[in-house]
Amino acid sequence: MGRYFGTDGVRGLANVDVTAELALDLSVAAAHVLGDAGVFSGHRPRAVVGRDPRASGEFLSAAVVAGLASAGVDVSDVGVLPTPGIAHVVTATGADLGVVLSASHNPMPDNGIKFFARGGHKLPDEVEDAIEARLREPWARPTGADVGRVTSDVGAGGQYVEHLLSTLPHRLDGLRVVVDCAHGAAWSVGPEALRRAGADVVVIGASPDGLNTNDGVGSTHLEPLQRAVLEHGADAGIAFDGDADRCLAVDATGAVVDGDQIMGVLALALASRGQLPGSVLVATVMSNLGLLLAMRAAGVEVVQTAVGDRYVLEAMREHGYVLGGEQSGHVVMLDHQTTGDGVLTALHLLARVAELGQPLAEVASVVQRLPQVLVNVPRVDKARASTDPHVAAAVAEASAELGDTGRVLLRPSGTEPLVRVMVEAAEETQARAVADRLAAVVQEHLAL
């Protein structure tokens, strides 16, 4: 990764790490890189810019728009819209570039900048590297009629909702659903899509004021949703994060339905309609073993990738798979969207519930999650985690002990000097005991 771009664009504390100057400079550099690559050849370049409701998004989006227009790019400003909604507008309008100002599930003081290429896919790493390399270089500025023009697209949200509804295999009539919008980008389109799909919708977390995004609500804080589901006697609850690229659910009792269960439900739904190519679901190595066992029993292969939605998406695009995601509720349905889409995921999950006429708890029970224990072991040489013979022997012993009913995973942190020890077992006490034992071996033999 470069100095600014991480695994999911540029992200950090707004006005300290992510400044107006950086937003403007990245936008200008992006215009130059794409222009020199021939992306703009033969037409006036066009970009779509949108954001989540964070206060800092106001000045950051203004800086992005200014940078692009100053570089001769016409800009359509869609305002507040979920990240997948912006990706959809890029795709639907044939725009050359999309820019999203959001820090997703991060706290409100953070913000981020994410670029989409033509077609709504994330820019490749090499293009991001080229953009960083050309930051603040001298350039010939367009003048007169060659500067970019800026328009507001007030209908983008409605077009996005229409797209979402066009994908539904079954209406949601008869379902009462509580939706928590995290005071985020889906505050309007999320409830609208669910209502128009036929659900009786109770809305919470849908009063964004620029300062309350993700503040005690949404997919990272499920307690308000759980309370509201019980209070209103709802059939289900749906929680989005700040930019609505993911969702989690709770059933009528308030029990959490996580991303692994959601993926399992969607995989079986697609398979039942003959719409799951290769009978393959793509998930990361952190997905619960319960998902793997459930899919194996149903004849669905689970292809596992490294942790990160980018790796899931790469595997899907390379092999033509249509469903993949993460335990966090970041689910990609490539037949309908180019990136994770919380509202789309929620609609299809609830459509399966309505189609089967069963409670969400019963529908989600196709995936029986095994107890999962994660222990972080700090101040160790993570580079030797996969090569140390003592650690390897301990892992082999633990794996043999657990057999087919459990799993061990050692994963070095990507950013810190620590190793994550993850153990799944039929009983939580066994998972905890094995994890603690392995963590002690890692600490003893890899200590710095």
Active-site residue flag, 104: yes
Q: Is 43 exposed, middle or buried (0-12, 13-18, 19+ CB in 10 A)?
A: exposed
Q: Is 116 helix (H, G, I), strand (E, B) or coil?
A: strand
**Tally of CB atoms within 10 A around 243:** 35
Both structure tokens of 41: 């050849």
Residues of the binding site: 104, 241, 243, 245
CA distance 57 to 112: 9
Both structure tokens of 82: 């979920």
Asked if 325 and 263 touch (Cβ cutoff 8 Å), the reply is yes
Q: Residue 248 gets which letter from DSSP? A: E
CA distance 218 to 73: 35
Radius of gyration of the chain from its Cα atoms, rounded to whole angstroms: 23
Rounded to the nearest 5°, which phi and psi values hold at 398? -65, -40
Task: Provide the sign of the torsion angle of the four alpha carbons 104, 203, 341, 224, taken in this order.
Answer: positive
Letter for the amino acid at 357? G
Which one of the listed residues 76, 102, 104, 328 is annotated catalytic? Answer: 104
Asked if 28 and 71 touch (Cβ cutoff 8 Å), the reply is yes
Asked if 240 and 224 touch (Cβ cutoff 8 Å), the reply is no
Residue (of 222, 224, 232) closest to 258 by Cα position: 222
Letter for the amino acid at 191? P
Residues of the binding site for Mg(2+): 104, 241, 243, 245
Catalytic positions, written as ranges:
104
